[in-house]
Amino acid sequence: MGAPVLGSSDVQLRRDRTSVKWVAFAPDVLPLWVAEMDADPCPAVVDAVTAAVRRGDTGYAWGPRYAAAVARYASATWGWEVDTSAAMIVPDVMIGAAELLRLLTDEGGPVIVSPPVYDAFFGFVEAIGRRRVDAPLDATGRLDPEVLGSAFAAATARGERAAYLLCNPQNPTGTVHSTKELATLAALAEEHGVRVVADEIHAPIVYAGGPAFTPYLTVPGAERAFSVFSPSKGWNLAGLKSGLAMAGPGAVDDLRRLHEVHTHGSSHVGSIAHIAAMDDGREWLAQLLSELDRNRALLGRLLAEHLPMVRWRPQDATFLAWLDCRELGLGDDPAAAFHARGRVALGSGPTYGPVDGKGYARLNLATSPAIVTEAVRRMASVVG
């Protein structure tokens, strides 16, 4: 392996970047909030995108080629044999998920989610005119069958069509749902007639030595469900958009009801980047995971030394640390205090669950060890 993927060891920020991470806060603030990595680009992606632009290959995306690349990656990584004839290219994971939810539910109908969860889930459910029903994770950050069953029963009690939006792996907790947990979810969903749409965008960021990622469509009982996947999180390609919606064998007819127009928003250059990442960027990803693993260990040591009242379970997936700051006395939104008084921007816990996120903050570990160290030093200064 070559130089570190996550950059130099100093704390100089990459002010040459112009994405939202770098411009949303003042220059003196360490930005560790949005799920964007401080990573050097994957060389295979740079080569593929540069070549495409040079040859003028900047037209519209072609879905079958993208679906075939996802199938190759899924087979090699998880042993999941994706049926490319039951797949559709979409602009990105959340737009694809939203269109599936729109298809599976009615105006004002229920969509169940399990907070704390990716904050965009709430926004997209609202944007498509659906009603959110919460089925919170348990105290250990895992799916709770009793809570899920009660939420599914309540959502369908009046005969409404209902769907469950699954985050697999879970953001912000970093939980990797087990095969047994997902099979239990599938059985409950079938019992109550709830359709499942799985956001699996964080699947490439799962650490060696921990629980393995299980694609939702591979578990028994998930035949009428959907998965939406993109390598954009794994290879830091949020600005190069594309994704793939995949149907279980019992959901193919539903997928075919999605209008072909939904494929138009996928970026052709984005799909070229994603294909290069999945086919030729696996060594880069392996190095990234190794560096993220070291940052997890570093954060644990730093918290124990400087912020021992912060409770944290090292995540099994994602590059996001979900920090329980309730004992610090910083109120419902400790990220606000860390920003105002420590000049470090973290994700606001309540945005991931108005109730279940109170007193929490989300910290992005996908940066240099020096910046992780400086961030914890600044956080400690707020409570010191």
- State the span(s) of the chain assigned CATH 3.90.1150.10: 20-41+282-383
| Predicted local confidence at residue 214, as pLDDT | 98
Residue 258 confidence (pLDDT) above 90: yes
| Predicted local confidence at residue 32, as pLDDT | 97
What's this model's pTM, rounded to 2 decimal places? 0.97
For the four alpha carbons of 184, 185, 186 and 187, in that order, the dihedral sign comes to positive
Residue 9 confidence (pLDDT) above 80: no
For 46-280, CATH number? Answer: 3.40.640.10
Residue 15 confidence (pLDDT) above 90: no
Instruction: Tell me the pLDDT of the chain averaged across its residues.
Output: 96
pLDDT tens-digit series, residues 223-247: 999 999 999 999 999 999 999 999 9
Burial 303-341 (b: 16+ CB within 10 A, else e): beebbeebebeebbbbbbbbbbbbebebeebbbbbbbee
- State the span(s) of the chain assigned CATH 3.40.640.10: 46-280
Structure tokens, 178: 């087990």
pLDDT tens-digit series, residues 312-330: 999 999 999 999 999 999 9
Residue 72 confidence (pLDDT) above 70: yes
The CATH architecture to which 20-41+282-383 belongs is Alpha-Beta Complex (3.90)
Percent of the chain surpassing pLDDT 70 = 98
Q: How many other CB atoms are found less than 10 A from the CB of residue 301?
A: 11
Amino acid of residue 130: R
| Predicted local confidence at residue 12, as pLDDT | 61
pLDDT tens-digit series, residues 263-277: 999 999 999 999 999
pLDDT band at 366 (very low <50, low <70, confident <90, very high): very high
Q: What's the whole-number mean pLDDT along residues 350-367?
A: 97
| Predicted local confidence at residue 111, as pLDDT | 98
Q: Which H/E stretch holds residue 112?
A: strand 110-113
Q: 3-state class of 243 per DSSP? A: strand
| Predicted local confidence at residue 300, as pLDDT | 98
Residue 13 confidence (pLDDT) above 80: no
Task: Convert 194-250 into a string of H (helix), E (strand) and C (coil).
Answer: EEEEEECCCCCCECCCCCCCCCHHHCCCCCCCEEEECCCCCCCCCCCCCEEEEECCC
| CA neighbor of 199 nearest in space, from 225, 227, 221, 237 | 227
Residue 11 confidence (pLDDT) above 90: no
pLDDT tens-digit series, residues 116-158: 999 999 999 999 999 999 999 999 999 999 999 999 999 999 9
